[in-house]
């Protein structure tokens, strides 16, 4: 069994969104930063995350630490694509950028959404390209819905290489 499938099974697999949510909420980097996954849709096309402002995730001026805001957007699109594309694809987070729009105070949240058209586009592109690197955007918003940070995630997606036929 490959490491990826072992990890997904430990996290509840891709078929059990409730178990995955529970385990991700206990992942030490999220737990330590106060990041909490509120919802994972059963089809892995929607994930909602929040983070309350606490003394341990505040910066020196009393607002959300930028690294924690960035961390609350990590890996979700990768996990969503892995679950929706299936085991024939390799999916990696390749790069990310964040633009802070205003200081984060109180509870902040991010909503990750993956549309069927995005999945279809990736599959279509990989019919002719060796790899495809889609960009996904997510906003981190405060309780009033005001954007406090904009995050762009660049993912690397390719089909798994098939083993060459045995000679002999």
pTM for the structure as a whole: 0.84
pLDDT score of 13: 52
Is 3.10.129.10 the CATH number for 3-159?
A: yes
Q: In whole angstroms, what is the distance from residue 126 CA to residue 146 CA? A: 36
The per-residue pLDDT for 15 is 55
Q: What is the rounded distance in angstroms from the CA atom of residue 32 to the CA atom of residue 26?
A: 9
**pLDDT tens for the 168 residues of the chain, in order:** 454 444 455 454 555 677 778 788 888 888 888 999 999 999 999 999 999 999 999 999 999 999 999 999 998 999 999 999 999 999 999 999 999 999 999 999 999 999 999 999 999 999 999 999 999 999 999 999 999 999 999 999 999 985 455 555
Provide the residue ranges of all domains of the chain, joining segments of one domain with +: 3-159
Question: What's the first-to-final CA gap in the chain, in angstroms?
Answer: 27
């Amino acid at each position: 069994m490959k490491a990826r499938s072992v990890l997904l099974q430990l996290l509840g697999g891709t078929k059990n969104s409730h178990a995955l949510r529970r385990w991700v909420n206990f992942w030490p980097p999220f737990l330590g930063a106060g990041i909490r996954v509120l919802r994972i849709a059963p089809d892995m096309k929607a994930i909602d995350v929040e983070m309350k402002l606490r003394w341990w995730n505040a910066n020196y001026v009393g607002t959300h630490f930028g690294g924690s805001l960035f961390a609350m957007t990590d890996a979700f699109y990768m996990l969503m694509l892995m679950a929706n594309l299936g085991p024939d694809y390799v999916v990696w987070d390749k790069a990310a950028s964040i633009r802070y729009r205003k200081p984060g105070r109180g509870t902040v949240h991010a909503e990750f959404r993956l549309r069927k058209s995005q999945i279809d586009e990736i599959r279509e592109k990989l019919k002719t390209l060796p790899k495809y690197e889609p960009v996904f955007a997510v906003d981190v918003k405060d309780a009033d819905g005001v954007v406090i940070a904009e995050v762009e995630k660049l993912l690397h997606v390719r089909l798994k290489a098939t083993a060459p036929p045995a000679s002999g």
